[in-house]
């Protein structure tokens, strides 16, 4: 890693010429597609099989993104996604969900934020068409313009670009974390402190993952960097990451890993961070259930699959443990707000039950400490009319604008009286998320 503040840059510009207005003109720009694939796309489009073509192209683009992410190592991808079930033998195209691939690719700079937004919306639109019954499917069809938009976005974002590989600087720095011990005065540490937040969060994920998996000199360097970097980053870390450190400490204690315990204890003691060490590991169960809710919500047939997933979360207990609170709130609110096509009506009673349990302290904790980093919810507030309406209803239902709020941008979200004001403030906040 050099002294550049921005460790990697997202791709800019467009690949497809602006005047390209046919499937043939766009498909021929897709360097990652074989001639046979290009012909199939053009043939499907000319036959007006728009949904079939859109699904084929989107699947090609997402598969390429997943392979690019896998170049970092699937175990590490699992750490970044909070997926303990992923290891080096996991198949990326099967193990990484489409939503996870788009989100992580955006944060790593493989695609830019605009293309990520379009890919997410295309994914939801395709899921909508896929879930229609036979009668509705005969009436509601994808239009020619929508199909061309699918193709243009996939080529601009992924299929028309060379490689789509993980950033070289990122891979190099990751290797250094286990091959040398940094000093607080090193330029790399200075750069880390002013880097985008995702880079800071990911660096922490690497350290916590390596504590569990490395041995010998790599393990020693990991512990040394833990002692140096965690105190340096502490004031910049959000509560979700601080809880992850406390969780790692608790797991090291339970496993009897004395060197790891000493390093993490030294780090936490230097920043008075033991408030973030959980009394038990039950939060893992809540976090896993919440992750499953988000997976169901962002996947196919989400309205059908959400009720069982959110009910499973609701049955875990009457209170949500603090370490799992951020992801649990994100999951519950995602189902509560729905997407651009509406909400799962069956799931709404379960979300209401979970939200009714929240204390004033928990609501204020989410609004002050979690919402600014909750990309899934901020996207809904910035992008979709129906979720904006649901948010305005949520404010009234739980009197959220009467809470004690520390940050002006959150106050503006809660005081927005119409969709246009809410959208404007949400877009501003979403843009700050990874800065």
Mean pLDDT value of segment 52-81:
88
Indicate the pLDDT class of residue 54, thresholds 50, 70 and 90: very high
The whole-chain average pLDDT of the chain stands at 88
CA-to-CA distance for 211 and 248, rounded, in angstroms? 9
Can you tell me the distance from the alpha carbon of 248 to that of 208, in angstroms, rounded to the nearest whole number?
7
Residue 10: its pLDDT value, please? 63
Q: Of 152, 150, 158, whose CA–CA distance to 20 is shortest?
A: 152
pLDDT for residue 167: 59
What is the model's pLDDT at position 333?
98
pLDDT band of 163, cuts 50, 70, 90: low
What integer is the mean pLDDT of 253-261? 90
DSSP assignment of 83-108 equals -TT--TT--HHHHS-HHHHHHHHHHH
Kindly give, in sequence order, each residue whose CB lies less than 8 Å from that of residue 361, ignoring residues fewer than 6 positions away: none
Q: How confident is the model at residue 434 (pLDDT cuts 50, 70, 90)?
A: low
Higher-confidence residue: 405 or 286? 405
Per-residue pLDDT of 326-340, as tens digits, reads 999 999 999 999 999
Higher per-residue confidence, 192 vs 352? 352
Report the range of poorest mean pLDDT among 193-207, 279-293, 403-417. Answer: 279-293
More confident call, 227 vs 81: 227
CA 10 distance to own-chain centroid = 16
Over range 29-51, report the average pLDDT. 93
CB 88 within 8 A of CB 360: no
Per-residue pLDDT, 36: 94
> What is the distance between the alpha carbons of residues 168 and 328, in angstroms, rounded to a whole number?
34
Quick one: pLDDT at residue 5?
Answer: 36
User: Residue 395 pLDDT more than 90?
Assistant: yes
Count of CB atoms within 10 A of residue 2's CB? 10
Task: Give Cβ neighbours of residue 242 (< 8 Å, ≥ 6 apart).
Answer: 234, 273, 276
Q: Treating both helix axes as pointing N-terminal to C-terminal, what angle do 375-383 and 113-130 enclose, rounded to 10 degrees?
A: 80
Lowest mean pLDDT among 16-20, 21-25, 56-60, 325-329: 16-20
- Distances from the Cα of 74 to the Cαs of 36, 68, 95, 205, in angstroms? 30, 11, 9, 13
User: Residue 295: its pLDDT value, please?
Assistant: 94
Lowest mean pLDDT among 9-23, 246-260, 400-414: 9-23
CB 43 within 8 A of CB 23: no
Tell me how far apart the alpha carbons of residues 236 and 229 are, in angstroms, rounded to a whole number.
11
Query: 89-123, pLDDT tens digit by residue?
Result: 999 999 999 999 999 888 877 888 899 999 999 99
Percent of the chain predicted with pLDDT > 90: 61
Name which residue leads in pLDDT, 279 or 79. Answer: 79
Q: What is the pLDDT of residues 264-282, one digit of tens each?
A: 999 998 998 888 887 665 6
Would you state the pLDDT for residue 415? 94
| Residue 386: alpha-carbon gap to chain centroid | 21
- CA angle centred on 103, ends 299 and 363, rounded to 5°: 80
Mean pLDDT of 381-399: 95
Q: Kindly report, residue by residue over 141-154, the tens digit of the pLDDT.
A: 899 999 999 999 99
Q: Reply yes or no on whether the pLDDT at 416 is more than 70.
A: yes
Whether pLDDT at 131 is above 90: no
């Amino acid at each position: 890693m050099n002294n550049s503040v921005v460790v990697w840059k997202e791709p800019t510009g467009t690949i497809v010429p602006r005047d390209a207005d046919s499937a043939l003109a766009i498909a021929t720009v897709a360097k990652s597609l074989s001639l046979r694939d290009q012909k199939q796309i053009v043939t499907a489009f000319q036959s007006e099989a728009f949904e079939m073509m859109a699904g084929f192209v989107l699947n090609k683009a997402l598969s390429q993104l997943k392979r690019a992410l896998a170049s970092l190592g699937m175990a590490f991808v699992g750490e970044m996604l909070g997926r303990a079930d992923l290891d080096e033998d996991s198949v990326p195209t099967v193990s990484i969900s489409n939503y996870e691939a788009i989100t992580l690719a955006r944060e790593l700079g493989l695609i830019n934020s605009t293309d990520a937004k379009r890919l997410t919306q295309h994914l939801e639109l395709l899921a909508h068409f896929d879930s229609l019954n036979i009668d509705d499917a005969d009436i509601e069809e994808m239009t020619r313009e929508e199909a061309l938009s699918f193709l243009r976005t996939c080529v601009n974002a992924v299929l028309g670009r060379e490689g789509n590989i993980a950033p070289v600087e990122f891979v190099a720095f990751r290797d250094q974390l286990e091959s040398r011990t940094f000093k607080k005065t090193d330029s790399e540490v200075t750069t880390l402190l002013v880097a985008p937040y995702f880079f800071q969060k990911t660096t922490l994920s690497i350290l916590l993952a390596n504590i569990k998996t490395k041995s010998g000199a790599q393990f020693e360097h990991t512990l040394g960097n833990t002692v140096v970097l965690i105190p340096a980053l502490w004031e910049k870390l959000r509560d979700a990451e601080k809880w992850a450190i406390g969780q790692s400490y608790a797991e090291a204690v339970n496993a009897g890993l004395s060197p790891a315990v000493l390093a993490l204890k030294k780090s936490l003691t230097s920043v008075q961070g033991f408030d973030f060490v959980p009394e038990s590991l039950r939060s893992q169960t809540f976090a896993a259930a919440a992750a499953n809710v988000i997976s169901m919500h962002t996947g196919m047939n989400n309205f059908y699959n959400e009720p069982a997933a959110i009910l499973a979360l609701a049955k875990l207990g009457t209170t949500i443990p603090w370490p799992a609170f951020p992801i649990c709130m994100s999951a519950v609110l995602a189902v509560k707000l729905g997407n651009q096509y509406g909400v799962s009506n069956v799931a709404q009673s379960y979300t209401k039950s979970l939200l009714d349990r929240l204390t004033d302290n928990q609501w204020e904790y989410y609004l002050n400490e979690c919402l600014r980093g909750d990309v899934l919810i901020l996207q809904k507030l910035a992008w979709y009319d129906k979720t904006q309406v649901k948010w305005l209803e949520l404010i009234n239902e739980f009197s959220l604008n009467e809470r004690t709020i520390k940050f002006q941008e959150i106050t503006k979200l809660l005081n927005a009286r119409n969709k246009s004001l809410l959208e404007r403030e949400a877009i501003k906040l979403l843009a700050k998320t990874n800065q």
